[in-house]
Amino acid sequence: MIRIAIQAKGRLSEESLELLKEAGIQVDDTKRKFLSQSRSFPAELLFLRDDDIPQAVALGVADIGIVGYNEVLEREQDVEIVDRLGFGPCRISLAVPKTVDYPGLEWFNGKRIATSYPNILGKFLKEKGIDAKISVITGSVEIAPTVGMSDAIFDIVSSGGTLVSNGLKEVEKIVFSEAVVISGRNPDAEKVKVWEQIKFRINAVRDSRNMKYLLMNVPNDRIDEAIAILPAMRSPTILPLAQSGWSSMHSVVAEDVLWDKIELLKEIGAEGILVLS
Ligand code: ATP
Ligand code: MG
Indicate whether residue 51 lines ligand 1 (CB < 6 A): yes
Residues with CB under 5 A from ligand 2 (ion): 50-51
Q: Does ligand 1 come within 6 angstroms of the Cβ of 13? A: no
Mean pLDDT of all residues belonging to the chain: 94
Question: CATH 3.40.190.10 occupies which residues in the chain?
Answer: 2-86+179-208, 90-177
Q: How far is the CA of 150 from the centre of ligand 2 (A)?
A: 21
Domain 2-86+179-208 sits in CATH at: 3.40.190.10
Q: Looking at this protein, which amino acid is placed at residue 182?
A: I
Rg of the chain over all Cα atoms, to the nearest angstrom: 25
CATH code that applies to domain 211-276: 3.30.70.120
Mean pLDDT of 3-13: 96
- Residue 160: pLDDT band with limits 50, 70, 90: very high
pTM: 0.83
State the span(s) of the chain assigned CATH 3.30.70.120: 211-276
The SS3 call for residue 40 is: coil
Question: For the segment 74-130, what is each residue's pLDDT rounded down to a tens digit?
Answer: 999 999 999 999 999 999 999 999 999 999 999 999 999 999 999 999 999 999 999
Domain formed by 90-177, architecture: 3-Layer(aba) Sandwich (3.40)
Which of 8-12, 19-23, 64-68, 265-269 shows the lowest mean pLDDT across its residues? 19-23
Pick from 73, 144, 74: nearest CA to 112: 144
Residue count of the chain, please give it. Answer: 277
Round to whole Å and give the CA distance between 215 and 241. 13
